[in-house]
Amino acid sequence: MARIKGGLNAKKRHNRTLKLAKGYRGARSKQYRIAKQSVMRALASSYAGRKQRKRQMRNVSALLDAYSPLKSLSRGYAIAYHEDAVISSIEDVEVNDTLRLRLQDGYIDTIIEKKENL
């Protein structure tokens, strides 16, 4: 009976590393030793900035949450609509127009009775 050698397992390991090095230029994708060094360095580098990227994503998420219109509704504000457009000025509406106010938990339809400028 023939002796079992480790050539098959080594070949599998080499191919796995070379597969990870696919796309590298020159010997980095073809020679096992150089490919292994490149892959190990790439994997170490990819982990290095992970905490920093995670921290940045948390900060961006907090900013998006703070500027969200839904968040302002939960603080007691309302968004006024007239004909499906947001009202930003008193000039956008007239007396007896119907407004739709969006609150945190629903909508209210109202009619304007009087306008006053500041």
**Share above pLDDT 90 across residues of the chain, in percent, rounded to a whole number:** 62
First to last CA, the chain: 100
For the stretch 17-37, pLDDT in tens is: 999 999 999 999 999 999 999
SS3 105: coil
pTM listed for this prediction: 0.50
pLDDT band at 64 (very low <50, low <70, confident <90, very high): very high
Q: How far is Cα 79 from Cα 75, in angstroms, rounded to an integer?
A: 12
Question: Per-residue b/e over 97-112, b at no fewer than 16 CB within 10 Å?
Answer: eebeebeeeeeeeeee
For the stretch 69-104, pLDDT in tens is: 888 898 899 999 999 999 999 998 999 999 999 999
Among 58, 68, 115, residue whose Cα is nearest residue 92: 115
